[in-house]
Amino acid sequence: MPPAMQYTQLGRSGLKVSRFCLGTMNFGPETSEADSFAIMDRALELGINFFDTANVYGWKKGEGLTEQIVGRWLAQGGGRRDKIVLATKVYGEMGTAPNQGRLSAYHIRRACDESLRRLRTDVIDLYQMHHVDRATPWEEIWQALEVLIQQGKVIYAGSSNFAGWHIAQASEVARARGLYGLVSEQCKYNLLTRLVETEIQPACERYGIGLMPYSPIGGGLLAGTGRRGGAERLRRESEFAKREREKHASALEQYVALCTELGQEPADVALAWVLSRPRVAAPIVGPRTMEQLESSLGALEIRLGSDTLEKLDAIFPGYQPSPEAFAW
């Protein structure tokens, strides 16, 4: 029997989401539509009610392939749409024209309508800015999002790949306009990538924003050669991943040895560590196969003691909040 799913509120909002968010980036490019449907059905059975996608996923400019797959899955009915919190993103280029990307009001409103059409739904529960847009004023961005919220097309707004000061700036402008503001920040966060702890995590704490870490097992680097890090994954590694593996070879060797000592799979320990971090609501698990989805749930049952956390910090040093991270 898989462990029972746990739920938490997304940031300061009243919205309850599963402790794991189903990432769909592999649906289409890596995982067939039929297998994607089966994974989404199984995720529901396992209690995962939080699904994340983006208009650029599928990586064929302008097609929104992954959103289309999720939309066709939702269109099967059976209460699927009512059972999930549906999140997607806006920013990436969806065409070659000058205004088919970024966060102008022009693009945000059109991109939202296009995502709704592909997803075959009338509302996006969490609409996330996929990247900060340094060229567009926050007043313009919030005006566009406010219209979408008033129209009932969007319920909550979130960010992704923001710096701490971007989160603060966005939140203060939203407050000045009388808006609820951001409820989530999706960022890369794992044992190998801990810069989040200097400013992003403290900003989220201050503004009541829930963290949605992506790449929680470091693109497979923290999976060792166990259940989720076997020979097939190693063959598929990009040149960047291979360089990262070589760069962190000593730390990864120590990490796998510690996991062996604990009697746990490295991937499960990595996920359990992310789940234990302050402000983390739901790490994103992006399975390519059913096995990868089901194997992720083991992390829910792992409780890392203070001694283990100290050993992990020794292998993968973290950061204090700024300015203590680099000054007295």
Fill in the amino acid letter for 299: A
Paired tokens of 112: 């939202």
pLDDT surpassing 70 at residue 218:
yes
Residue 233 tokens read as 């994954």
DSSP string, 94-111: -SSSTTSSTT-HHHHHHH
Q: Is residue 35 in a domain?
A: yes
Total residues found in the chain within this entry: 328
Digit-coded pLDDT (tens) for 42-55: 999 999 999 999 99
Does residue 1 lie within any of the structural domains?
no
Is there a domain that residue 238 lies in?
A: no
DSSP state of 300: G
Pick the closest to residue 265 from 313, 304, 223 (CA basis).
223
What domain count does the chain have? 1
Query: CA nearest 191: which of 5, 73, 63, 319?
Result: 319
Q: Is 106 a catalytic residue?
A: no
Confidence of residue 242 (pLDDT cuts 50, 70, 90): confident
Catalytic residue among 57, 91, 127, 255: 57
Whether 246 is covered by a domain: the verdict is no
Q: Which strand (E) or helix (H) includes residue 327?
A: none
Asked if residue 294 belongs to a domain, the reply is: yes
User: 188 lies in a domain?
Assistant: yes
The yes-or-no verdict on residue 177 having pLDDT over 80 is yes
Confidence of residue 232 (pLDDT cuts 50, 70, 90): low
- pLDDT tens digits, one per residue of 182-207: 999 999 999 999 999 999 999 999 99
In terms of residue numbers, what domain contains 75?
A: 7-220+267-302
- For tokens 């203060």, name the residue: 172
Predicted local confidence at residue 238, as pLDDT: 75
Least confident range of 116-120, 206-210, 238-242, 292-296: 238-242
Write the CATH number for 132. 3.20.20.100
pLDDT digits (tens, 9 = 90+) for 270-311: 999 999 999 999 999 999 999 999 999 999 999 999 999 999
**Mean pLDDT over residues 144-173, rounded?**
98
- pLDDT of residue 68 exceeding 60, the answer is yes
Question: In this structure, is residue 309 part of a structural domain?
Answer: no
Position 313 in a domain = no
Report the pLDDT averaged over residues 203-222.
Answer: 97
